[in-house]
Structure 1
Amino acid sequence: MPQSDDLDITIQGLINLPDGSVITCPECDRSEALTIYGPVGGAARVMCTAGHHFDPPARVDAVALLANAADDPRFERF
């Protein structure tokens, strides 16, 4: 199977931030089962289960968010 240059990672549960908060959709406030996606080595975008696409909060390193999710063995990459 050819390897893609894009990552698509669905997080079943919450994306907990170091300050104790969680990432929520700015349009509908959903915070569970978010999908983190973006190009390998690039900045993450987030999609909620309602289909809203948004950038992570400004205080979050979007490149590290995607890289950490890709390296976490609990999450399946698509």
Structure 2
Amino acid sequence: MAEHHDITIHGVINLPDGTVITCPDCGASEALTIYGPVDGAGRLMCPTGHHFDPPARVDAVQLLAEVAADPRVDRL
């Protein structure tokens, strides 16, 4: 079984242009969880349980890799 990431962000995920990622269903922007296989595309989940892909202009593989590599992130 491939290794997976399951990382809850305490705060918001800011894109390079300053935009904050929000849940398309409920608008939540804090405490999002990003998850997915190592070296694969990340998906997001809001605190109320909606699952969604990052915005189309975001590389989902790169987003997951960057979050996982961030030394401030607590890994599960």
TM-score (norm 1): 0.93
The CA distance in 2 between the partners of 1:53 and 1:62, in whole Å, is: 14
Secondary structure (helix, strand or coil) at the match of 2:28 reads coil
Matched, 1:16 2:14: yes
* Other-structure match for 2:43: 45
1:24-62 per-position Cα deviation (integer Å, ceiling 9, x unaligned): 000000000000000000000000000000000000010
> How many pairs align?
75
TM-score (norm 2): 0.96
Paired-residue identity, %: 71
RMSD: 0.8
Gaps of 5+ in 2: none
